[in-house]
Amino acid sequence: MAERRPNRTLGAPHDEFWAYCDSGELRLQRCGDCSHVSWPPVDACEMCGGSGLSWDAMSGRGRLVSWCTFHQRYYEELETPYDTILVELEEGPLFVSNPSGFSNDAAFFDMPVKVAFADCEDDAGAFRLPVFEPA
């Protein structure tokens, strides 16, 4: 059953990101001028301002930079405690996500992880959420 989640930010250019997730792909915007990968989605490269952006497939591999566990409840959709992680993708961007198949108690600095997709839903309907499992 799909997990209920707080609402995504939708509209251009976000819809494209989520559409790729729905097909099981983690794609982010790479700049044609400076090769920098921006995240979250941008209208122009966050590094050089270039507008020639292409949705490039990421390897899905990364390493844990940090993590934290929510005890204070901020969302009615999410029961506490729950874990969040910060992953440095191989291509550079830092990606806020959730662990899958491990908990923060087992997390360690620089831990290798790889992307997986969890079936979720919000007010806009079903979607697949990129999460990370041990690599």
Where on the chain is the footprint of other proteins (CB under 8 A)?
5-9, 14, 40-42, 46-47, 65-72, 74-78, 81-82, 84, 86, 94, 96-98, 104, 108-109, 120, 122, 129, 131
Nearest to 50 by CA among 62, 61, 37, 60: 37
Position of tokens 């969302």? 75
- Please, which residue, 41 or 60, has the CB nearer to other proteins? 41
Q: How far is Cα 111 from Cα 8, in angstroms, rounded to an integer?
A: 27
C-beta of 4: minimal distance to other proteins in Å? 10
Closer Cβ to other proteins, 41 or 62, answer by number: 41
**In the bound complex, what is the minimum distance in angstroms from residue 92's beta carbon to other proteins?**
9
